Structure 1
C-alpha cells in the first residue's frame, strides 16, 4: 500500500531556531519510537450514513493549519491512507498502519476522515494489543451504535458485538441527538456515558473519569468534531447547536492526555468543504498541538 505524503510549509521567524511545527516534523522512519501522525482520507462512511461529505480532505487541511503553530517536540509524519468506496478494505488498511506503529512503541495521532476512521483505528489497536483489556473514550454527541451496514454511525456496534474485552465510554452525549433505540442499544452493551449537561454540572467528572480509565490495560480516544458547537466548528457533517465549547474540549484533552496507558488518539469529522474561514480545521490543529503538549509535558 502506498501512503499519500504531505508537505509542511509555514512562517519562519529565525531560520536558526526550530520553533514551529513545519520546522520540526520529519518523515516517519521505521526506527522512530515517538509521536507519529497518520491520516485517513475517507468520507465513504459519512456518505453511507447520509451525511454531508467532505471529510476526506481533512488530513491535508489540518496539517496545513498545523504547519506554523509553535511546537518544538519530536514529531514524525507517516502520511495518509487514501480511502476508497470499499470502506471495509480501507479500514483494514488503516488498521494495519496503526498496528505497525503501535508495535514499534509509537503514539499514533490520527487525523480522519469521517468518524468511520475510528473502526480502522480500533482494528489497529486490537491487533497490537490482542489480549489486553481495552477502553475506547469517544468525545461525541452521538453513540454511533446503529446496527446496519458499516458507515460513520455503526463503528461501536461493530466493535461491541464482536469484542468482549473492551469497554466503551462516551463523553458529551446529546439527548436530542440520539433516539430511544440508541439509548436502549447503549444499555444493552453496557455503555457508560455522560451527557454534555452532566459534564458541565459535575466539576469532579473529569478526575473520576481519568481515574477509571487508568485501570485499563490500554486506552484509545476519538474526538468527533461535531461534538463541538457549530459557532466554533461549523465545518462538520452534522453541526451542533449545543456542543462543547472549544475551551471545554481543550480542558478535556489536556486532562486525558496525561494518562500513562493512552496509546492513540484520532480527530475525526472535520469537513473543509463545509467550513467557514477554515475555522474547524484550525481548531483541530490547535487541539492536536494542545494535546501533544499536555502529553509530552506530563510529570
Structure 2
C-alpha cells in the first residue's frame, strides 16, 4: 500500500464532489465539473506531468487556536461547488483533483504533515499545486512541501502573500493561523537560509506593534493596503518592487488570504475588514507574477462559507483558481 493511502486524514478526489449545469454530451466539455480529473496522490507517478493539482485543506483548528471565526473547514467543499459551475476555457491544460486533507481530532500538526507530504509529491511529479483552504496555517505545510521537493536543487524560495496580516506571531502555546510565516522563518534560520517574504495588503489596524517590529527585523517586504490600488501608477510602483524581489529568488510560492480583500468583495472570511484590496488589483498583480514563470505553487486560504453572502467569497475564490489555471504557463 502506498504511503498516502495509509493516512486516515486524507480522502482522494471523488467525481461526486463536482457538479454543474447538465448539458448535451455532444457539446463536449463546457464547465469545470466536466473537465476535472479525480485522482489519489498515490496515482501521481502514472499521470502526465505539466498539469494542475487541487488539494483541499479542510481545517480551521488553527483559526480556532488564534481566536478567529471558525467555519473555514468547509472552504474546500464549497469552493469546489462554485468552481464546478465555472465555464471551462482551458482546452490545452489538465486539472486533477487530488482530494482533501482533513483535520481529525483537532490534530493540526498531523493535518499539516499530510498536506506537506502531498504537496511535495505533486511538485516532484511536475504538477502545479493549488491549495484550497482552510485556515492560513496551511501556508506552513505548503511551504514545507515545496521546500522538500526542491531540497536537492538548492532553490531559493520566495513567498508572496496577499494578506491583511503578517501572520508572523511567535508561538506561545501551539501553532495557529497567525504563526505560519514565523515558523517558516525559524526553519530557514536553523539552516542559515534567507527568509524571502513579501506581503501585499498589510493593514496597520490588524497588526500589533510587535508584529511590525518582527517584520522589520526579518526584512519583510511590505506593501500597505492603502497602496494596493488599481490605477496605473500604483500598479507600476508595486510591480517595480516585485520585480526586484522576483529577481532575487529562484522560485515563487503565492498564498492568497481572502481576508486581504475588502469585505465588500469577500465577507466570508475568518477576519473581515472593509479596508482591503479589490479583485481588480489582485488579478492584475497575480497575472504579472504568473508571467514571471517562477511560480511553483499557490493556495487560497480562509474561505469561511459560514459567513458568506450569496456565495460571494466562494465565487471570488473559484474565479481566482480559474485565472491561475488560465494564466500559469503550461510548462509549470
Q: Which category describes the TM-score, using the shorter chain as reference length?
A: over 0.9
Q: Secondary structure at the match of 1:136?
A: strand
Q: Bigger shift: 26-35 or 181-190?
A: 26-35
Matching residue of 2:281: 248
Verify: 1:238 aligned to 2:271, yes or no: yes
How much is the aligned-residue C-alpha RMSD, in angstroms?
1.7
Shift of 1:90: 1.2
Matching residue of 1:172: 201
Shift of 1:89: 1.7
- What does 1:170-249 align with in structure 2 at a 5 Å threshold? 170-200=199-229, 202-208=234-240, 209-210=242-243, 212-249=245-282
CA displacement, residues 100-124 of structure 1 (integer Å, 9 cap, x when unaligned): 1000011001101010111110110
- What does 1:23-172 align with in structure 2 at a 5 Å threshold? 23-28=34-39, 29-30=43-44, 31-33=47-49, 34-71=51-88, 72=90, 73-84=93-104, 85-130=106-151, 131-148=154-171, 149-163=174-188, 164-172=193-201
Assess, with a 3 A threshold, how the Cα gap between structure 1 residues 146 and 67 changes in structure 2: closer, same or farther. same
Which of 20, 38, 58 is the matching residue for 1:10?
A: 20
Matching residue of 2:3: none
Shift of 1:161: 2.0
Instruction: In structure 2, list runs of 5 or more residues that go unmatched.
Output: 1-6
Once residues 38 and 237 of structure 2 are traced to their aligned partners in structure 1, the CA distance between those partners, rounded to angstroms, is 38
Shift of 1:211: 5.2
TM-score (normalised: structure 1): 0.95
Q: Secondary structure at the match of 1:161?
A: helix
Q: Is the 8 A contact 1:257 1:292 kept in 2?
A: no
Matching residue of 1:287: 320
Shift of 1:243: 0.6
TM-score (normalised: structure 2): 0.86
Q: Is the 8 A contact 2:228 2:277 kept in 1?
A: no
Shift of 1:92: 1.1
Once residues 95 and 165 of structure 1 are traced to their aligned partners in structure 2, the CA distance between those partners, rounded to angstroms, is 20
CA displacement, residues 29-79 of structure 1 (integer Å, 9 cap, x when unaligned): 422321111111000000000000000101011000010211233111100
Q: Is the 8 A contact 1:58 1:113 kept in 2?
A: yes
Q: Secondary structure at the match of 1:162?
A: helix
Matching residue of 2:4: none
Q: Secondary structure at the match of 2:197?
A: strand
List structure 1 runs of 4+ shifted beyond 3 angstroms. Answer: none
Shift of 1:202: 2.5
Once residues 221 and 276 of structure 1 are traced to their aligned partners in structure 2, the CA distance between those partners, rounded to angstroms, is 26
Once residues 193 and 177 of structure 1 are traced to their aligned partners in structure 2, the CA distance between those partners, rounded to angstroms, is 14
Once residues 280 and 120 of structure 1 are traced to their aligned partners in structure 2, the CA distance between those partners, rounded to angstroms, is 23
Once residues 94 and 43 of structure 1 are traced to their aligned partners in structure 2, the CA distance between those partners, rounded to angstroms, is 14
Instruction: In structure 1, list runs of 5 or more residues that go unmatched.
Output: none
Once residues 195 and 214 of structure 2 are traced to their aligned partners in structure 1, the CA distance between those partners, rounded to angstroms, is 16
Q: What is the aligned residue count? A: 298
